[in-house]
């Protein structure tokens, strides 16, 4: 009797969870859409249009310029890859002009380099760009086609379908992908088409059927766009935040660092705010010509470490000060955490003074790393410190686990690193992260 109940319970769990085991930390890689769209003529400019060449070039850069080792492994095709017609068996096929070797050739190219290939589809009659969509009768066929091609991830958009079709189609595609037996990460645009909020959006269900989901509008190459997206997610953090966790992520859309619209400070802001949010990190830029400044931000190991924390808890905004400084916080594994001080000001760097205690940290001594300036300090919860935050910029801090003051002194000779032996933690002049 007990066994039967246990079996039933486990069967139930299996059918309720998207148990593909993928994306236990936010996925990282490259996605064509924001930077390349689809309307540039491949004959005029073969390097800058959606084509086999473009994806192979990006794969070369990811595997040769240190990106892959940092976790950037997905190379994702977006809209406009398909022929306008399905084949005689009703299957999607790639546009032979843009992809003469077909998608399997690209998948092999990625796999040979330790990378993964993502593709784009649309739950509806057409993709947003007007290419063939996946109607309800085509779900299983398309899942099977993608699996046979060796695809590793599917972004399923939602243009040209209604709420009823989406409510049937998104869960069915999840099942169909699982049924292929190939692990395929599943990105759902469903919530973005339903306003991103309950009651129309059911975040519990999304976590069970998708690995990530777009909640909100498309990112564009501008600071305004980054800020408005960030503000939407943090404004709704109590609704969307709890939905995130290992294998299931809110997706505020691509990183536009390395493009045209962001200053270096704004680029650090996007990276920090996305890392606190536990957001997927898909760059949409030209890795062949990216500046060394943008590359350093995207390849910063400590910010990637924060983003990829195994606990997978989405961070939140703690404060919005009248001064125009916001404070964000994300709890990380092993009792560590990250803090972001972000400035909405547009005049000059602002010196913001606070202490870990004021930000609700428990009593103790903390080692604090400033991620982008590489400064280190040791702070008691009661010690005031100053961050100097540039206009539209951030200071990102990684904060160690707390240690009790007394323990440090008791064990100083045996274990204590040099900085913990200082007795001057209550400096008269607060240490500053400049
Ligand atoms: C929608 C999506 C974008 C992109 C385009 C392609 O707008 O939200 O991310 O995929 O369609 O047409």
pLDDT at 380: 96
Q: In terms of domains, do 85 and 164 share one? A: yes
Residue 202 confidence (pLDDT): 98
**Lowest-pLDDT range, 73-77, 387-391, 428-432?**
428-432
Give the model confidence (pLDDT) of 124-138 as tens digits.
Answer: 999 999 999 999 999
Residue 103 domain boundaries: 16-307
Percent of the chain residues topping a pLDDT of 90: 86
Q: Is residue 3 part of a domain?
A: no
Q: Is there a single domain that holds both residue 125 and residue 185?
A: yes
Is 218 a known active-site residue? Answer: yes
- Does the CB atom of residue 78 touch ligand 1 within 6 A? yes
Q: Which residues of 341-366 are buried (b: 16+ CB within 10 A; e: fewer)?
A: bbbbbeeebbebebebbeeebeebbb
Among 307, 328, 348, identify where a domain stops: 307
Question: Please, which residues have CB within 8 angstroms of residue 230's CB and are 6 or more apart in sequence?
Answer: 252, 270, 273, 277
- Judged against a pLDDT cut of 60, whether residue 13 lies above it is answered with no
**Overall residue count recorded for the chain in this entry:** 434
- Largest Cα–Cα separation, the chain: 78
Q: Is the CB of 361 under 6 A from ligand 1?
A: no
Distance 386 CA to ligand 1 centre (A): 42
Residue 408: predicted pLDDT: 44
Query: Do the domain assignments include residue 2?
Result: no
Total of domains in the chain: 2
Q: Tell me the two tokens of residue 199.
A: 């009651």
User: Quick one: 43 and 80 in the same domain?
Assistant: yes
**Does the Cβ of 81 fall within 6 Å of ligand 1?**
no
348/205 same-domain check: no
Same domain, 300 and 397: no
Percentage helix, strand, coil, to 5, in the chain?
Answer: 35, 20, 45
Ligand 1 centroid, distance to 340 Cα (angstroms): 30
Q: State the burial class of residue 112 (Cβ atoms within 10 Å of its Cβ: 0-12, 13-18, 19+).
A: exposed
- Lookup result for tokens 């190379």: 75
Radius of gyration (C-alpha) of the chain in whole angstroms:
23
Among 30, 31, 32, 33, name the best residue to mutate to test ligand 1's pocket (greatest count of ligand atoms within 8 A of Cβ): 33
pLDDT 10s digits, 225-268: 999 999 999 999 999 999 999 999 999 999 999 999 999 999 99
Of all protein residues, the one whose alpha carbon is nearest to atom 6 of ligand 1 is 79
65, pLDDT greater than 50: yes
Residues 230 and 334 in one domain: no
Residue 423 has pLDDT above 60, yes or no: no
Q: Are 211 and 347 members of one domain?
A: no
Average pLDDT over residues 194-222: 98
Residue 433 clears pLDDT 80, i.e. is over it: no
**CATH at residue 351:** 2.60.40.1180
User: Around Cβ 188, how many Cβ atoms within 10 Å?
Assistant: 27
Distances (CA, A) of 427 to 142, 377, 379, 402: 64, 12, 10, 19
CA of 218 to the centre of ligand 1 (A): 7
Q: Give me the pLDDT at residue 407, please.
A: 46
CATH of the domain at 73: 3.20.20.70
Residues 83 and 171 grouped into a single domain: yes
The whole-number average pLDDT for the span 152-180 is 98
Q: Is the CB of 129 under 6 A from ligand 1?
A: yes
- Clarify whether 286 is annotated catalytic: no
Please state the pTM of the whole predicted model: 0.92
Distance CA 14, CA 8 (A): 10
Q: Is 218 in the pocket of ligand 1 (CB under 6 A)?
A: yes
Has residue 1 got a pLDDT over 80? no
What local confidence, expressed as pLDDT, does residue 41 receive?
Answer: 87
Give me the pLDDT at residue 418, please: 37
Residues 63 and 185 in one domain: yes
- Averaged pLDDT, 365-391: 96
- Mean pLDDT throughout 348-356? 98
For 81-107, the pLDDT digits (tens) are 999 999 999 999 999 999 999 999 999
CA separation for the pair 263, 242 (Å, rounded): 32
Output the pLDDT for position 404. Answer: 80
CB distance 121 to ligand 1 below 6 Å: no
Pocket test for ligand 1, best of 189, 192, 213 (most atoms within 8 A of CB): 189
Q: Is the preceding peptide bond at 355 cis, omega within 30 degrees of 0?
A: no
pLDDT band at 48 (very low <50, low <70, confident <90, very high): confident
CA-nearest of 275, 139, 251, 270 to 192 is: 251
Q: Is residue 410 very low, low, confident or very high in pLDDT (cuts 50, 70, 90)?
A: very low
Phi-psi region of 250 (alpha: psi -120 to 50; beta: other; left: phi over 0): beta
In a domain, 323, yes or no: yes
pLDDT of 363: 96
- Look over the chain and give the mean of its residue pLDDT values, rounded to a whole number: 92
9 lies in some domain: no
Decide: residue 231, CB within 10 A, 0-12 exposed, 13-18 middle, 19+ buried.
middle
Cα 371 off chain centre by: 18
């Amino acid at each position: 009797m007990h066994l039967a109940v246990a079996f039933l319970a486990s069967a139930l769990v299996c059918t309720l969870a998207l148990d593909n085991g993928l994306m236990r930390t936010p996925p990282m890689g490259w996605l064509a859409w924001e930077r390349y769209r689809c309307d540039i003529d491949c004959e005029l400019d073969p390097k800058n249009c959606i084509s086999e060449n473009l994806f192979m070039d990006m794969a070369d850069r990811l595997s040769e310029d240190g990106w892959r080792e940092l976790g950037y492994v997905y190379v994702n095709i977006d809209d406009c890859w398909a022929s306008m017609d399905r084949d005689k068996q009703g299957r999607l096929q790639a546009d032979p002009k843009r992809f003469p070797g077909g998608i399997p050739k690209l998948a092999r190219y990625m796999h040979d380099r330790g990378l993964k290939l993502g593709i784009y589809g649309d739950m509806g009659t057409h993709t947003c760009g007007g290419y063939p969509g996946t109607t309800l009768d085509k779900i299983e066929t398309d899942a099977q086609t993608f699996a046979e091609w060796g695809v590793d991830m599917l972004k399923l958009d939602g243009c040209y379908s209604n709420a009823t079709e989406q409510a049937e189609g998104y869960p069915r595609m999840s099942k169909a992908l699982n049924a292929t037996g190939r692990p395929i990460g599943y990105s759902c645009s469903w919530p973005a088409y339903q306003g991103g909020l309950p009651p129309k959006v059911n975040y519990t269900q999304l976590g069970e059927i998708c690995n990530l989901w777009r909640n909100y509008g498309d990112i564009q190459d501008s600071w305004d766009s980054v800020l408005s997206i960030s503000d939407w997610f943090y404004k709704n953090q109590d609704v969307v935040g709890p939905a995130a966790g290992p294998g299931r992520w809110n997706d505020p859309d691509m990183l536009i660092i390395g493009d045209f619209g962001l200053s270096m400070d704004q680029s650090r802001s996007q990276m920090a705010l996305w890392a606190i949010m536990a957001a997927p990190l898909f760059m949409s830029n030209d890795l062949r010509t990216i500046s060394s400044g943008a590359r350093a931000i995207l390849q910063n190991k400590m910010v990637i470490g924060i983003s990829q924390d195994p606990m997978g808890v989405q961070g939140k905004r703690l404060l919005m000060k009248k001064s125009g400084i916001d404070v964000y916080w994300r709890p990380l594994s092993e009792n560590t955490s990250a803090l972001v001080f972000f400035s909405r000001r547009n005049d000059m760097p602002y010196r913001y003074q606070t202490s870990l205690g004021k930000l609700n940290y428990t009593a103790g001594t903390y080692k604090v790393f400033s991620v982008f300036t590489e400064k280190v300090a040791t702070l008691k919860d009661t010690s005031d410190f100053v961050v100097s935050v540039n206009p539209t910029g951030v200071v990102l801090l990684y904060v160690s686990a707390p240690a009790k003051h007394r323990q440090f002194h008791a064990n100083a000779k045996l274990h204590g690193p040099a900085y913990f032996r200082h007795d001057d933690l209550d400096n008269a002049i607060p240490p500053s992260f400049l």
